[in-house]
């Protein structure tokens, strides 16, 4: 795990010293991602750099920027889990690999397989590969999008970096807001790939390889989510070797690691299997605690950690932590993310960084095995739609009249989401249910909601919305939260549920093995009974939530109000009078607008960062003009000669 960056320019106006200076500027902005050394390489028209968080091959000083024979250079942020098998097969093919780092297999694998090389790689990665023979630059991202890579193409120059903030410091486009990216952010709380909130700056998609050559640019998908027809539900025991091997691969590292543990089934199952796979390892469980009882799962997590023989480290999070942590995250990463859990995740990984460099987490299980309440809603929506109109109207009035609660994921909250959007098709309704700011309020705020192609096979609705979540919110919200929150403190997060073999196993499950009646994750819960007490398996899903609704009415009220009154929001096209009306409704408990308010607060904080970057660009340009003028003034005149 590390930070990578670089520049490829075919513009004669960008000499090599200029490229090297820009690449070093980006590397400095990524310093938090790699405390264990860095590396830099340059060639005519090319500068690449990395820093390193040592997870594998810690016995050698080998930042993940490696040059192989024939002028192939690789910079890789991530972990190659099947590097041992690849190393053996490549040795049999005649490739001598002397370095112990897992990344060392990538260049020879490319030389052996060409553009098909990533089909043979298992792991998580965002990489850049330069082939000097072909004058070819490859940018690629892993299948599930666990690692991230931004890029910008300005004229004949390509810039890339692990984080948007680093890229913005080097490529210096106009740093203009992208209206489409802004609309997507306000709707969903994140910007889905390939977009970003800024024009000119893009993200590599999950499972994508971008090939940049003198003849042009190609966008290739080297992996697609399996979509074949599901068969009968397999026996739970058939999943055991698959998941155990995934946990074993991801914990096959040279440093101590821990787990992120809540009271839920996903992290509990992952912890239990990790304990079983490597019983000799000392494992500490890190848990987020809240003073607000309905949000705190620490009691369950502590009990489970004790039963599994894990150390237990709790991190208490309060409203007072929010303003400082949000500003730190936004300014380090450079992209708005409206998941409130970004705050506690960053704080718990900051504490974990004192002990470990890697944490295993339960991300991905909900998307793959059918764990979200919205999947239940999708299953029951057709039954609700068939009710007589008067009965539906009565039910809607009764549900909408339920009082607003500040507790965690209440039944009233879920029911209010369920009865809205019943006139929409299944995927459009899912997008409404999961929206940070619903379309009505987006319009009141002065933003045209994004248009989505929601056409799908109604008979495969659950498949459709699970695939949508896997392809969008999982990589660009949940895994972005994990990467940006943890790597700020030099900690890597791995998700065994997102191992390729687990993804392919889950894709073969029939719908009834995922969602049945009022039960989610049907198959996974049956499997989990082999490792966990029934009380843990059947406990109602709660997820990592933050007591945001009450905090915005209490200790964060003035801070949030100041952000919603910000001139930065107004300059970005947000109607701040509507934002204040939204805030007033929340204060009066007329509605729970916590997520919408938070989305606007994060945007305001991000706009402050963006404006500071714009000022820095203007100052730098003025200094460059002054320096150029000074050089002109200092040049002796050729007229008149010496006296």
Which three-class secondary structure state does DSSP give residue 349? helix
Q: Are 270 and 305 in contact (CB under 8 A)?
A: no
Which three-class secondary structure state does DSSP give residue 620? helix
Residues 352 and 279 in one domain: yes
Q: Are strands 65-68 and 46-52 parallel, antiparallel or unpaired?
A: unpaired
Length of the chain: 643
- What angle, rounded to 10 degrees, do the helices at 373-385 and 426-433 form? 130
Place of tokens 């089909």: 119
Task: Categorize the per-residue pLDDT at 639 as very low, low, confident or very high, splitting at 50, 70 and 90.
Answer: very low
Q: Are 522 and 513 in contact (CB under 8 A)?
A: yes
Distance CA 612, CA 604 (A): 13
Tell me if 169 is assigned to some domain: yes
Closest CA to 379 of 426, 412, 419, 428: 426
Residues 82 and 186 in one domain: yes
The CATH number assigned to the domain holding 88 equals 3.60.20.10
pLDDT at 627: 64
Residues 201 and 242 in one domain: no
Residues 162 and 105 in one domain: yes
Residues 518 and 593 in one domain: no
**pLDDT tens figures, 142-156:** 999 999 999 999 999
What is the domain extent for residue 69?
2-221
For the chain, what is the domain count? 3
Tell me if 639 is assigned to some domain: no
Residues 59 and 31 in one domain: yes
Domain-terminating residue out of 538, 562, 577: 538
Q: Which two tokens stand for residue 366?
A: 């909900």
At residue 131, does pLDDT exceed 90? yes
Alpha helical stretches, state H, 137-231: 164-171, 179-188
Task: Categorize the per-residue pLDDT at 295 as very low, low, confident or very high, splitting at 50, 70 and 90.
Answer: confident
Q: Are 493 and 144 in contact (CB under 8 A)?
A: no
Tell me if 132 is assigned to some domain: yes
Task: Categorize the per-residue pLDDT at 298 as very low, low, confident or very high, splitting at 50, 70 and 90.
Answer: confident
Tell me if 347 is assigned to some domain: yes
Domain-terminating residue out of 192, 221, 250: 221
Residues 486 and 568 in one domain: no
Q: How far is CA 204 from the centre of its chain?
A: 12
pLDDT at 642: 40
Task: Cis check for the bond before 420: say yes or no (omega within 30 of 0).
Answer: no
Contacts of 189 (CB under 8 A, 6+ apart): 337, 338, 339, 436, 477, 595, 599
DSSP for 143-165, please give it. Answer: TT--S--EEEEETTEEEEESSHH
The CATH number assigned to the domain holding 285 equals 3.40.50.620
At residue 297, does pLDDT exceed 90? no
Could you report how far apart the first and last alpha carbons of the chain are, in Å?
Answer: 65
The more confident residue out of 60 and 138 is: 138
Tell me if 424 is assigned to some domain: no
Alpha helical stretches, state H, 425-566: 426-433, 439-444, 461-471, 473, 479-487, 500-507, 522-528, 534-538, 548-553, 557-564
Residues 198 and 308 in one domain: no
Tell me if 418 is assigned to some domain: no
Residues 21 and 153 in one domain: yes
Distance CA 174, CA 11 (A): 19
At residue 392, does pLDDT exceed 80? no
Residues 552 and 508 in one domain: no
Instruction: Order the strands of the 157-161 sheet from edge to edge.
Output: 38-43, 46-52, 2-9, 157-161, 150-154, 201-203
Which three-class secondary structure state does DSSP give residue 374? helix
User: Assign residue 158 a region: left if phi > 0, alpha if psi is -120 to 50, beta otherwise?
Assistant: beta
Q: How many CB atoms lie within 10 A of CB 556?
A: 20
pLDDT at 34: 78
User: What pTM was estimated for this model as a whole?
Assistant: 0.92
Residues 208 and 275 in one domain: no
Tell me if 261 is assigned to some domain: yes
Domain-terminating residue out of 538, 569, 593: 538
CA atoms within 13 A on the CB side of 67: 11
Q: How many CB atoms lie within 10 A of CB 439?
A: 16
> What is the average pLDDT across 614-640?
63
Place of tokens 């190659």: 80
**Which of 167-176, 331-340, 353-362 has the least mean pLDDT?**
167-176
Q: What is the mean pLDDT of the chain?
A: 90
Distance CA 500, CA 414 (A): 32
Residues 113 and 85 in one domain: yes
Tell me if 449 is assigned to some domain: no
- What angle, rounded to 10 degrees, do the helices at 164-171 and 16-29 form? 150
């Amino acid at each position: 795990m590390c930070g990578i960056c670089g520049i490829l320019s075919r513009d004669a106006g960008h000499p090599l010293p200029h490229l090297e200076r820009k690449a070093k500027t980006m590397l400095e902005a990524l310093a938090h991602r790699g405390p264990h050394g860095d590396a830099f390489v340059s060639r005519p028209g090319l500068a690449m750099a990395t820093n390193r968080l040592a997870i594998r091959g810690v016995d050698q000083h080998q930042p993940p920027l490696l040059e192989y024979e024939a002028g192939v250079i690789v910079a890789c942020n991530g972990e190659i889990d099947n590097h041992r098998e690849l190393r053996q097969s490549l040795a049999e093919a005649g490739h001598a690999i002397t370095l112990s780092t897992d990344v060392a297999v990538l260049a020879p694998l490319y030389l052996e397989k060409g553009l098909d090389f990533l089909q043979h790689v298992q792991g998580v990665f965002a990489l850049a590969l330069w082939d000097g023979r072909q004058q070819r630059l490859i940018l690629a991202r892993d299948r599930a999008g666990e690692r991230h890579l931004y890029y910008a193409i300005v004229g004949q120059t390509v810039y890339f970096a692990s984080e948007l903030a680093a890229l913005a410091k080097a490529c210096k486009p106009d740093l203009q807001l992208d209206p489409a990216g802004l609309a997507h952010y306000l709707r969903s709380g994140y910007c889905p790939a390939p977009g970003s909130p800024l024009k000119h700056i893009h993200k590599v998609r999950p499972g994508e390889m971008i090939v940049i050559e003198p003849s042009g640019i190609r966008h290739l998908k080297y992996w697609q989510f399996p979509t074949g027809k599901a068969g009968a539900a397999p026996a739970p025991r058939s999943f055991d070797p698959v998941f155990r091997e995934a946990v074993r691969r991801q914990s096959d590292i040279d440093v101590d690691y821990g787990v992120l543990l809540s009271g839920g089934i996903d992290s509990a199952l992952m912890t239990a299997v990790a304990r079983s796979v490597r019983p000799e390892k000392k494992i500490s469980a890190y848990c987020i605690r809240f003073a607000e009882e309905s949000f705190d799962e620490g009691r369950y997590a502590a009990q489970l950690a004790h039963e599994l023989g894990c150390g237990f480290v709790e991190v208490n999070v309060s409203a007072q932590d929010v303003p400082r942590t949000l500003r730190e995250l936004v300014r380090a990463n450079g992209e708005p993310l409206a998941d409130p859990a970004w705050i506690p995740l960053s704080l718990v990984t900051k504490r974990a960084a004192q002990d470990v460099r890697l944490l295993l987490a339960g991300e991905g299980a909900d998307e793959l095995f059918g764990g979200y309440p919205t999947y239940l809603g999708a299953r029951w929506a057709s039954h609700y739609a068939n009710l007589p109109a008067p009965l539906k109207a009565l039910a809607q009035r009764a549900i909408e009249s339920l009082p607003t609660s500040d507790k965690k994921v209440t039944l009233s909250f879920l029911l209010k989401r369920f009865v809205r959007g019943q006139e929409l098709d299944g995927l459009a309704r899912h997008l409404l249910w999961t929206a940070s700011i619903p379309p009505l309020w987006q319009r009141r705020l002065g933003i045209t909601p994004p248009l989505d192609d929601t056409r799908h096979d109604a008979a495969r609705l659950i498949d459709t919305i699970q695939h949508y979540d896997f392809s969008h919110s999982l990589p660009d919200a949940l895994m972005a939260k994990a990467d940006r929150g943890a790597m700020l403190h030099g900690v890597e997060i791995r998700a065994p549920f997102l191992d390729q073999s687990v993804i392919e196993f889950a894709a073969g499950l029939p719908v009834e093995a995922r969602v049945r009646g009022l039960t989610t994750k049907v198959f996974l819960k049956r499997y989990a009974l082999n490792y966990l007490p029934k009380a843990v398996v059947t406990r109602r899903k709660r997820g990592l939530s933050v007591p945001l609704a009450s905090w915005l009415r209490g200790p964060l009220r003035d801070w949030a109000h100041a952000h919603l009154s910000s001139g930065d929001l107004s300059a970005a096209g947000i109607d701040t009078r509507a934002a204040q009306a939204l805030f007033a409704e929340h204060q009066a408990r007329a509605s729970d607008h916590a997520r919408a308010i938070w989305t606007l607060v994060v945007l305001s904080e991000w706009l402050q960062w963006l404006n500071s970057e714009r000022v820095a660009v203007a100052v730098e340009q003025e200094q460059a003009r002054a320096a150029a003028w000074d050089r002109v003034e200092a040049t002796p005149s050729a007229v008149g000669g010496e006296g």
